[in-house]
């Protein structure tokens, strides 16, 4: 019998999942330059842009969704 840790199970379940996000050309260019000499800050611009997109678009749509409404009703 084979047992997996939680981390291994998540990795095996989602390792092949590809999620694409739209980044503007400037951010893609900055990332490309950063990856020539990578640091822990290589993706900071992308993270900032994705956070802004989520704040302006995804999060407000979630708050207006039936799913969130049902969650509020259940409380």
Residue ranges of domains in the chain, CATH in brackets: 23-74 (1.10.167.10)
Write out pLDDT tens, residues 24-34. 999 999 999 99
Cβ-count burial 3-14 (b if 16+ within 10 Å, e if not): eeeeeeeeeeee
pTM: 0.62
* pLDDT tier at 12, thresholds 50, 70, 90: low
**What is residue 17's predicted lDDT score, i.e. its pLDDT?**
64
**49: its two tokens:** 């842009």
């Amino acid at each position: 019998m084979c047992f997996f840790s939680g981390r291994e199970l998540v990795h095996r379940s989602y390792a092949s999942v590809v999620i694409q996000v739209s980044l503007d050309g400037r951010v893609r260019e900055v990332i490309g330059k950063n990856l020539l000499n990578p640091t822990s800050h290589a993706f900071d611009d992308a993270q900032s842009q994705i956070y802004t997109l989520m704040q302006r678009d995804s999060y407000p749509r979630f708050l207006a969704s039936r799913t969130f409404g049902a969650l509020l009703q259940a409380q």
